[in-house]
Amino acid sequence: MRMLMLKPLSWVLPLVLLAPTAPAVAAGTAPAATSWTLPGVGDVGASVESADGRLRLRVSSGGTEALSVADLGLVTSTTDLSKDLTLRSQNHRTLRTAYRMTTGKQRERTVLQEESRLTFSNPSGAQLALVVRVSDDGVAFRYELPGAATVQRETGGFELAPDATSWLQPYNPQHENEHAEATAATAPTGEFGHPALFRRGSTYTLLAESGLDGRYSGGRLTHTQGSGRYDVRLADAAVASTGVTSWRTMIVGDLATVTGSTLVDDLAEPARFTGTSWVQPGLSSWSWLAENSSPRDFERQKDYVDAAARNNLSYVLVDEGWSPVWLPELTRYARARGVEVLIWFHWTNLQTQAQRDEWLPKLVAWGVKGVKVDFMESDSQARYQWYDAILADTAKHRLMINFHGSTVPHGLARTWPHLMTMEGVRGEENGLNATRNTILPFTRNVIGSMDYTPTRFATASNPKPQTTNAHELALPVVYESGWTHIVSTPEELASQPEGERFLRQLPTAWDETRLLSGTPGVETVIARRDGARWFAGGIRSGTGGTVTVPLTFLGGTGRWLVEIVTENQGALSRSSAVRRAADRLDLLVADRGGFVLQACPYSPGLTTCDKPHREPPRTSVLVDVSADEVATGGTVELQGVFVARTGGSVRDLALAPELPAGWSVVAGKPVRKSLLREGESVSGRWTVKLNPAGVRGDVELVVAGTYTAPDGRRIHSADAARVFAEPLPPKGSTYVSDQPWTDETNGYGRPQQRDRSHGGDNEPATLSIAGKTFGKGVGSHAPSSLTTWLGGACSRFFAEVGVDDGTTTGEGSVTFVVLGDGRQLAGTPVIRAGETAHLLDVDVTGVKRLTLATTDGGNGKNSDHADWGTASLTCAP
């Protein structure tokens, strides 16, 4: 959205919608042809016309029609509201709004929209309101019904000039196909995802959706080759609508207008909460793409933390494979280095309210700041209802969130300010493609933050001929993402010192964004401002050459220090010059190359725009406890020692316990120290109590020192002592899946599943062995282990075990083992896929810890989906 100079509210006069092509008619009489010109904004205009009771919306830019939408309307389960429509009423209002984003191409947004509402009825008396909003960067419409209804389909079709150039992405639920260039008519028959880009002359049109949540269903575009028409198909055959659809959004104008548009956010609902100081965009180190196995490696993750600390990256993202055994320790290590931790989840592990209630408080207790949730891969209403639920829950726990394997943005980042980014793109993890890179700034990234996972530098052992190092360095500027996950290894980053230096300075949320030049599929040059500093990046897809960069975006008449990073035979190098806004740069880039620059106001003697970066002092906390096991109502003595080791003094230190929920300090107070110099230490001692509602199992009693580092940051340095808090024993007849687990490991992918199979999303969720299904039990993948506390209160364990029917190959083979307090109580021979369930009926009298384990059957773990059907306990009442 371009910034507008708005006139006072008294300037707004009542507007009458005109019908220039036909006289007014009595209500209830359908005219042969009537049109209504709607109030426009700037160069953008719109009109609605009715011909024989069918509606069409026309959209213009600069006085020329950009597209129209024919056959507007809905079909519900009870009526057809797409034909024989008669105007019943019309009204208009001017909307002026201002809001602030935590992420995005422009933090502060000022919006002017002209809204027209035309209400129609069909011969049966059913009513449909067509609501149209016109802004200076496009037009949007939605349908509103008098009440709830089951929507079966939308009938409106977007009609583009047949010869308009198109850049379309064949639809799939994860939105990860490549864009293909064609024309509106010659594009193949099929389904295409939002957003869809078209160009006729110098006017571009981007089709998108906005205001889409669990009250409606996601849409895609359908097309028949030879036609310029694109219809909407909903993901669900029947949508339980509250009576309001999502916004069909048409961004129109020149390429700069489309690229800079905020229309999708402008149409979305306002923020659900204020007080966003805990929401922090930033760069993140991410190891999975370069080293798939590294998220399972605690020591290797520490290397990524160290690289993040060295390079001023705010976060480290620990992807699939992390273990709850060591993740709290990694989080403490990272936070002491000034780095926060984000962790990956398969969405099915946060699918239910119970799962979220279990995991989210635990993450907060560990010090995790956000989650990446993956593999949703659906545009259905049910999936959007899940998005609504997890957004509300993570906001409640002050956890930021990234949706990966997801739909595309629909304005949710305005409604939920802690939503930092979404994938919905064929990103760098799908391979390098310079042509793709120069299309995405004008398509997917227009509508919201894009989790592309860019910037892997080439080395001698990892050459990347598809792009260059300068091209890769430019991507975090060319692309906007509240969290930007850098995929270079620590060693690859260190191989390019000027790349590291530039990344240390780079923000990920912006005050202003401008397209400097570009052609989809060929070249993109974008400038973004953060405060007084400008950053710009440029990329090309084909043959190298000179890229001209006008510096007019700097503005004013003063001088600017401009620092430029380019590339020579793979090595990034930096140069600088003092320039004015009237100047231009002519930069030579390589084939599929790029460049970046940083600019700041110049004053005599200034040699760099860099803000100083200083790593926090090296500190440590030592923790000791008086006992390693505690029962309900019991206490332990907790001691903590904070040591300032190297790297400078710490100020305003507060040393205190951070206890699990339901624990309390019954003696001792925080220790405070205004100044602690290198080599000095301070200690504290506390008595802590396990209350009846306290967290149990293997818990960590943390002592943390929070202090102010020399650069002004508040740093959290902590360590913990492990204590086993005896859980309350089970009572009566119960199921293992209903009990807390004190320990759990799994052989592949997601953790073990309660009352559902471990298989993939396309496999049946019901536990099933040789055709016999189980409503209760545990789904695992060998080798696996889970432990639950019996406390000597139970006498019998029963289960029917076998390989889950979701295993489609003959490879599945598993053995099952039951252990009590580490001693084997029962076991099975190797059980293979398709074999009937084996019965386990085990005496567990006196057992405190019950462990259920599986092995891979001796032929590897492929397809070893193991089910503990029923898995029940008989315990004292």
Alpha-carbon dihedral sign for residues 356, 362, 367, 368: negative
List C-alpha distances in Å: 343 to 245, 318, 368.
Answer: 34, 5, 7
Rounded to whole angstroms, the Cα distance separating 7 from 46 reads 22
State how beta strands 618-625 and 663-667 pair. unpaired
Interatomic CA distance for residues 603 and 818, integer angstroms: 74
Catalytic residue among 297, 388, 429, 491: 429
* Distance separating alpha carbons of residues 328 and 321, to the nearest angstrom: 14
Angle between helices 497-505 and 469-478 (to 10 degrees): 0
Amino acid at 495: S
Q: Residue 415 contacts by C-beta under 8 Å, 6 or more apart in sequence? A: 213, 268, 269, 270, 271, 272, 391
- Judged by DSSP in three states, 430 sits in helix
> Do 73 and 143 form a contact (C-beta atoms < 8 A)?
yes
Question: How many other CB atoms are found less than 10 A from the CB of residue 275?
Answer: 8
728 alpha carbon, distance to own chain's centre? 38
Smallest Cα–Cα separation from 281: which of 414, 401, 448, 455? 401
Which residue, among 324, 260, 248, has the nearest Cα to 57 in the 3D structure? 248
Would you tell me how many other CB atoms lie within 10 Å of the CB of residue 771?
9
Half-sphere exposure of 377 (CA within 13 A, CB side): 12
**Do 438 and 520 contact (CB within 8 A), yes or no?**
yes
- Range list of β-strands (E), 26-63: 33-41, 44-51, 54-61
Name the phi and psi angles at 288, rounded to 5: -60, -40
Q: Which residue reads 């390693």 in tokens?
A: 628
Which residues, other chains included, contact 310 with Cβ-Cβ below 8 Å and sequence gap of 6+?
500, 615
Provide Rg for the chain, Cα atoms.
Answer: 30
Start-to-end CA distance of the chain, whole Å, equals: 65
Measured from the Cβ of residue 108, the count of other Cβ atoms closer than 10 Å reads 11
Residue 657 burial (C-beta neighbours within 10 Å; 0-12, 13-18, 19+): buried
Q: How far apart are CA 332 and CA 320, in angstroms?
A: 19
**Has 374 been annotated as catalytic?**
yes
Catalytic site residue from 137, 154, 266, 374: 374
Find, among 262, 240, 230, the residue nearest to 140 by Cα: 262
| E strand or H helix at 437 | helix 434-437
d(CA 806, CA 776): 16
How far is the C-alpha of 843 from the C-alpha of 154, rounded, in Å?
Answer: 61
What are the CA-CA distances from residue 303 to residues 160, 327, 334 (Å)?
52, 14, 10
The dihedral over CA atoms of 492, 493, 495, 496, expressed in degrees to the nearest 10, equals 130
491 is catalytic: no
Catalytic site residues? 374, 429
